[in-house]
Amino acid sequence: MFGVCYYPEHWPEKMWADDAAEMKKLGIEWVRIGDFSWSRIEPIAGQYDFAWMDRAIDTLAEAGLKIIICTPTATPPKWLIDLHPDILPVDIKTGQTRGFGSRRHYDFSSDIYVEAAMKITEVMVKRYGTNHKVSGWQTDNEIGCHDTTQSGSANAKAKFQVWLKNKYKTIEALNEAWGTVFWSMEYNDFEQVELPLYGVTEMGLSHQLDYRRFSSDMAIAFHDKMVNTIREHCKNQFVTHNMIPMCDTQIDNFKLTKDLDFVAYDSYPLGRNAEVLNPSSFEHMRTGHPDLNAYFIEQTRGLSPTGRFWIMEQQPGVVNWANYNPMPAKGMVRLWTWEAFAHGAECVSFFRWRQLPFGQEQMHAGIKMVNNQPSLFYNEIAATISEVAKHPELLSAKVDNKVALVTGTENQWFCEIETQSTLYKHLQTEFQYYRVLQQLGIGVDFIDETSDISQYQLIICPASIAPSDDFCKKVTSTNAHFVLGPRFASKTKNLHLPHNMPPGVFAEQLGYTVMTADTTPVSHQHNIHYNGKTYTSHTWRDIIQLHHNSPLKITAKIEGLKKAAMLQNDRFTVITSLTDDKFLVDVFKEIAAKLDLPLNETFGDIRFKQKGNYLFVLNYSNQPYQLDCFESEQYVLGSKLIPAHDLAIIKTSEFEEQL
């Protein structure tokens, strides 16, 4: 299925019918409208104008299009700000109020704003909740984007104090949990507790952590209330939200999405390139890193309580908001679209229908240009929609993975609050493990500690800093093999060192103690020796001391330090250091062989994705790729010679035996 994001209020009404007809002709089924339209729906407090939206819905529906309405709550109008200026958030870095004139200018801690947002939501769902032309709802827009989860406002401070009192009950319990005896930070009352901002040097670690938890909870409570408001009046319409990654939102997205019918993701492969690539490098500049788009898409699938997900916004050409905005290589919009379907997406919706001549996003491409002519990628998008329509079996095939990667926002928070090394980055660490698995063609599900792990043979924890007691019990009760990265179980949930030293509650099970962490600059690396080969240890090393009765054996050592780089037995692989990719590739190849997991090892910028009985071969490189191990009749799409920035799809379930 395909969709598009459309803003009828941006265009003369005389264009709507032609737009709708062209969308339908192009093969689009779904149209998203309404986000950011609050000032048009409620131009004056309490006075509503739905006439234009009624006509837009009728026009789109008459063309045979299905409609998704967004709540417009990401852009509170000026009259609301003027009436209640304290709904504006306060920047946590500067202490300055973030003003009107952009978007997401609201504070989750403001009761006045929450009430106003729920009121406009209720008015809308009462009007359209039984309208058969409306199929579903999107809540808000990209909750947490633009660093808007956390606020330094008076509202946030008051709510934080209440949140702390509900959590700890007594101030003595808070003092103990936070270790406030250090640096004379003890409190006598919850009302004394400030937000952990603007300190002379670093603020209390547990204080910072609880503030992030509180801020996440405020966003989730806001979203839960909106979902409940919609469901109260919309019994036969779905509810979703267009996510951006947890590394951007500072929200526990697993909790945020728990009550959605499915999760959606806004996919901008080139816009996110800078998160893992050197901006001065031309490598992947016009394609995106061959694993980064998949990394975020598969996270989205993992967030969905039903396993279902959409791409609600797909990059259709040049974007406007990154540090630099190159034009995609020819073929990449098609490749990204097929890649989303390969990972299980049900629908890909392009942002946007037509490029705008005004506003902050006027340089962002659409399917159509400002002059209503086809954009540079119009024909590519049209061909892709037509191509996908011929192969419904590829969309209905199921993703079935036996490997899971444990993720979660709290791991990111632990790493950001107490870095111990400015070079250690949670995103890059987690992405490295995922990247290596992709290069081996191993399918991965993203899970958190609360997920059911019974179906998996291999479970990987690249950066699980403070796993819970419940997760420890799960580890004990399953027969899966676990790969544990450096910093595993190095802290408690209060961001303290365990009294028995890391790995804390896992110490008895694993049979070792982390004596200290050794962090070094880029210029100071060590060699790792493993199976007669030499690899690189860098940035972070857990210095291990084995217990005399440890079930683990040292299988790789760090030269110079004469310490363990890896410990293993039939249940666990403990990697004590950040390493080069080659080390992880060889380790995972050996583990996969022992677990009888199929490998579809890739070459350069070629990526393989098995989905049911279909193998997707994606060529991210600038050169053609020859794949000779299948018969011509097995190719559902493409051929043995895969051009640059192209793909092939092969019907087979035994790929690993044919290479």
Q: Among all residues, which ones are annotated catalytic? A: 142, 313
Length of the chain: 659
- The tokens for 193 are 């507790």
> What SS3 class is residue 116?
helix
Tokens 């992947």 correspond to: 284
Query: Which DSSP symbol is given to 333?
Result: H
Helix H or strand E encompassing 348: strand 348-350
- The tokens for 114 are 């929450």
List of residues 6+ apart from 391 with CB closer than 8 A: 636, 637, 649
At position 135, the amino acid (one-letter code) is: S
Q: Which of 170, 169, 202 is nearest to 185 (CA)?
A: 202
Q: Which of 57, 61, 6 is nearest to 31 (CA)?
A: 6
94-108 burial, b if ≥16 CB within 10 A, otherwise e? Answer: eeebbeeeebbbbbb
Point out which residues pair with 600 in neighbouring strands.
Answer: none
DSSP string for residues in 515-541: EEEEE--TT--EEEEETTEEEEEEEEE
Rounded Cα–Cα distance for residues 227 and 221 (Å) = 10
The alpha carbons of the chain give a radius of gyration, in whole angstroms, of: 26
Check whether 321 is labelled as a binding-site residue: yes
Check whether 541 is labelled as a binding-site residue: no
Rounded Cα–Cα distance for residues 85 and 97 (Å) = 10
- The tokens for 655 are 């790929």
Rounded Cα–Cα distance for residues 243 and 256 (Å) = 10
Q: Where are the beta strands (DSSP E) in 97-231?
A: 134-138
Could you tell me if 544 and 513 are in contact, meaning their C-beta atoms sit under 8 angstroms apart? yes
Rounded Cα–Cα distance for residues 130 and 124 (Å) = 11
> What SS3 class is residue 207?
helix
Helix H or strand E encompassing 395: helix 392-396
- The tokens for 328 are 């995609």
Backbone φ and ψ for 401, nearest 5 degrees, come out as -105, 150
Point out which residues pair with 349 in neighbouring strands.
Answer: 3
Could you tell me if 545 and 456 are in contact, meaning their C-beta atoms sit under 8 angstroms apart? no
DSSP string for residues in 99-112: -SSSS----TT-HH
Annotated binding site for substrate: 103, 141, 321
Q: Which residues are annotated as a binding site?
A: 103, 141, 321
